[in-house]
Copies of this chain bind each other. A is one copy, B any other.
Amino acid sequence: MRKYVYSFGGGRAEGNADMKNLLGGKGANLAEMTNLKIPVPAGFTITTEVCTHCYTHKGDYPPGLKGQVEKALTRVEKAMGARFGDCEKPLLLSVRSGARASMPGMMDTVLNLGLNDETVRALAAQTGNERFVYDCYRRFVQMFGDVVLGLKPQSKDGVDPFEEIIDKKKAVRKIQYDTDLSVKDLRELVEEFKSAIRVKTGKPFPEDPFAQLWAAIGAVFHSWDNPRAISYRQLNKIPDHWGTAVNVQAMVFGNMGNDCGTGVAFTRDAATGEKRFYGEYLLNAQGEDVVAGTRTPKPIAQLKSEMPRIYRELEGVYKKLERHYRDMQDMEFTIQKGKLWLLQTRSGKRTGFAAIRIAVDMVTEGLISKEEALRRIDPIQLNQFLRPVFDREEKKRAVESGRLLARGLNAGPGAASGKVVFNAADAEEWAGRGERVILVRSETSPEDIRGMSAAQGILTARGGMTSHAALVARQMGKVCIVGCSALQIDYRAREMRARGIAIKEGDSISIDGSTGEVISGEIKTFPSEVLRVLLHKSMKPKESSDYRYYAKLMAWADGIRRLEIRTNADQPDQVANAVAFGAEGIGLCRTEHMFFEGNRIDSMREMILAENTEGRRAALAKLLPIQREDFKGIFRVLKGKPATIRTLDPPLHEFLPHGAAEVKDLAQKMGVTEERLWQKIASLREANPMLGLRGCRLGIAYPEITEMQARAILEAACEVAKEGIAVRPEIMIPLVGMAKELEMQKAVVDRVAAQVFSEQKKKVSYTVGTMIELPRAAITAGEIARFAEFFSYGTNDLTQTTYGMSRDDAGPFLAKYLEERIISSDPFESVDQEGVGYLMRLGVERGRKTRADLKVGICGEHGGEPESVKFCHRVGLNYVSCSPFRVPIARLAAAQAVLEEKAESSKRGRKRVSA
């Protein structure tokens, strides 16, 4: 018969820490602690397979379970010297959930199980503490009623029938606190609770301890599918089919007197990573008292003087556990009548700062290898090192005093405070006179770029994690909150409202882009230490411990990774930042952003409004020197690192105004009639601009645009090369779907190059390549590679077309799709490996078949998302490119990809050996 129940405690365990999938994290660790001879109340774990079995068999348990549970229970009784349901020395049990991954508070727990009118008397006699025992009984009946019998109201405003009874009792007794209830009161409450249960469920409260046990086990298994647990799994990408284990364990009590207590402890500081034992405890208390906050817990150091023996024992335990697990542990303990019991140990949650410090320190201490350290860090946590930070205390006070206005999506991490402005022009103007501003918009568009750049932070009411605002903000490293739908913005009145509070233009707000919180008023911010070292140079490396840990980890990652890491950037300062963050070149320089700066937009508009090629050429001639200077700035910063520069991509209408006033202005400026301008705007309007005249289709319709851009790039390259600085321009043609498109655009570039080199009497080497961002490009990659020296996957567009889903429109239904588990993650955030990934593999395969040394990268937003970076590694890409602030994330993820690959191949190796 299959084994469904694993015992632990009493000196030996049937499971161990490696059995998390079967026993859940809690059960595996209880077994492991038993094996380590650490005192754990005896118990047993019912495996996750039973949970899965229940769900696939309409709630039925597998045959044989009952016998195994009964046998295991006998072992518990023996180990604890008590008997379940016994009238003299009754054993009480806890029944808790325990999944593979921690899901704190999401599922149900029943404590003090085994109490009934008989056992309660025995326990009272045994402990001599009637009040304690009846309080346990009262709590048990209430918990059982709530959790197992389903009396707990489902909505937040619903009233717990038991709390109602207690309130009534307190009113009658004219007392304020539960602790003032007498033993009699408690006994009465138990009776009143039981009759409430009889009324509500039509059945009496089960006095039989075994009936209680099986009911509780069933309830805990079922809590795997309560709405809270489901949505937690969604958020944390935990598969539904994992299921939970159930741990049945002997109760121990920290509230039996002053030789009792309970506490939690961490082996290192979870906030900073500092190596110090810390935690909190309370004497004569139960775990929930520590959480409830009615009594203030004491720092763990005090235990040393209050209970020196216990403290020494605990010290021994924590050292043993950390050494054993080779990771920072978060432990729960209870002291019952002078005896220490460990109830739980697990890897402790920690901040990004702590995660890295602990990992690096443990390498120094010889506990773990560098590879292990790299494997342990969630790359996203590196964000914390780069973002400006709020003064922690000040923010806490602000929230507590009711200044929290709303929450949105945390699109650009970090902290920013400033005065609210409602349009990009104001942002620029105010910032120009030295104000710190937060740009608040319903949503942003490319016209807002300069205003976004001038602002401290960006807040939008609409849009998702990959909206224009979010994208640009990440690239600029701006603090940004998007999709803050609680905001009502009234542009005309120049104010926004949230929670009934009006914020007018010029009022201060603070936004926390790491949490999505919008708070009224200023809160002090600082650049992070690492930023102060890397960018502001206002701090020396050795002054910053954050920096030293960060730098060490990054160096290890760089030593291992195979992928090159580049950045998406189009301004010299952005590029400089990215290089400081470790970028080895530019993977995507979007030239269109350059056209919005200063007066450039005018020349751009002149070009668009031109009636013929000559007119366009004249306007482009004005843009040429400006673009050339941009590129020179970039080449100088890069000092020989490669720069992939993409020719014009967006549809032309994005460069034209759409409001009546702006159109009037522009018409005047351009010397055309308003009517003509409106006509032009209308003629450029498209039903589906994403699938319209853009990308290389523009360059083919107007080769003079590509000519100008190629000239600007190559003249800049020649001029900078003459300054003695190495240059590596790579010219990238967007939205190619047919080899011929690339062939034609490459011919333009090559022709211009020959002209420029002869004019400049200087040659530089350059390459021409293409974006692969349409399914057809991936499919015909073999043909396209005939003309491409490199490919760069534009996974934003490729995802849009592969799914037939517009990033701008998918928000509402993608949200529903995520909620209903139709998709497991947003394909615009993390590469869809099955669909889009298939095309990526195909493109690499076919491209390299034509041109074995084809360089292939990715420059979609996915290039900075860890799972996507790892996928790119596996597919055999040469590089990933992401926004500057994601560069460190990509570096670490790239290293992890190598480590995962090694683990995979050694696993395969082992399989071969054993086969």
Contact = CB atoms under 8 A, between A and B. Distances in A.
Contact of A691 (B693, B738, B805, B832): B805
A775 interface: yes
Given A735-B804, A804-B773, A689 B687 contact: yes
Interface in A759-812: 773-776, 779-780, 797, 800-806, 808-810, 812
Interface in A818-844: 820-823, 832, 834-836, 838-839
A701 interface: yes
A612 interface: no
A699 to B, nearest CB: 11
A809 B776 contact: no
Given A700-B820, A835-B779, A737 B688 contact: no
A573 interface: no
A686 to B, nearest CB: 4
A320 to B, nearest CB: 47
Nearest to A804: B774
A363 interface: no
B802 A776 contact: yes
A441 to B, nearest CB: 16
A697 interface: yes
A813 interface: yes
Interface string A21-33: 0000000000000
A693 B812 CA distance: 9
Given A686-B808, A773-B804, A834-B780, A822 B738 contact: yes
Contact of A808 (B687, B801, B823): B687
A804 B691 CA distance: 5
A737 B803 contact: yes
Given A801-B804, A803-B737, A804-B735, A775 B839 contact: yes
Nearest to A693: B813
A751 interface: no
A524 interface: no
Interface in A729-747: 735, 737-738, 740-741, 744
A692 interface: yes
B775 A688 contact: no
A304 interface: no
A749 B178 CA distance: 55
A803 B776 contact: yes
B822 A700 contact: yes
Residue among A688, A800, A802, A836 with most chain B CB within 10 A: A688
B822 A741 contact: yes
A690 interface: yes
Contacts of A802: 737, 774-776, 779, 801
A822 to B, nearest CB: 5
A78 interface: no
B740 A821 contact: yes
A808 B690 CA distance: 12
B809 A691 contact: yes
Contacts of A658: none
Contacts of A780: 834-835
A805 B777 CA distance: 13
Contact of A806 (B691, B779, B834): B691
A700 B815 CA distance: 12
Given A801-B802, A804-B735, A744 B686 contact: no
Contacts of A805: 691-692, 737
B688 A809 contact: yes
Contacts of A776: 802-804, 832, 835-836
B690 A687 contact: yes
Contacts of A690: 687-688, 691, 804, 806
A907 interface: no
B701 A816 contact: yes
A809 B689 CA distance: 8
B838 A779 contact: yes
A475 B178 CA distance: 78
A832 B692 CA distance: 18
Nearest to A744: B822
A835 B778 CA distance: 9
Contacts of A809: 686-689, 691-693
A255 to B, nearest CB: 49
Interface in A661-694: 686-693
Contacts of A817: 700
A776 to B, nearest CB: 4
Residue among A744, A805, A812 with most chain B CB within 10 A: A805
Interface in A51-82: none
Contacts of A692: 805-806, 809-810
Interface in A334-392: none
Interface in A461-477: none
Interface in A700-756: 700-701, 735, 737-738, 740-741, 744
A808 B688 contact: yes
A232 B810 CA distance: 44
A823 B689 CA distance: 21
Interface in A194-208: none
Contacts of A697: 813
Nearest to A827: B776
A820 B803 CA distance: 30
A741 B823 CA distance: 9
A805 B800 CA distance: 12
Contacts of A839: 775, 779
A800 B690 CA distance: 11
B816 A740 contact: no
Contacts of A688: 688-691, 806, 808-809
A69 B738 CA distance: 42
A559 to B, nearest CB: 37
Contacts of A808: 686-688
B822 A803 contact: no
A822 B780 CA distance: 14
B803 A687 contact: no
Contacts of A701: 813, 816
Given A737-B802, A737-B804, 12 more contacts: A691-B691, A691-B810, A693-B809, A693-B812, A693-B813, A700-B817, A700-B822, A737-B803, A774-B803, A775-B835, A779-B834, A801-B801
11 contacts: A688-B689, A690-B804, A690-B806, A692-B809, A693-B812, A737-B804, A744-B822, A776-B835, A776-B836, A779-B834, A801-B804
Interface of A: 686-693, 697, 700-701, 735, 737-738, 740-741, 744, 773-776, 779-780, 797, 800-806, 808-810, 812-813, 816-817, 820-823, 832, 834-836, 838-839
**Top 3 A-B residue pairs of the complex, sorted by shortest distance between their CB atoms:** A691-B806, A688-B806, A776-B835
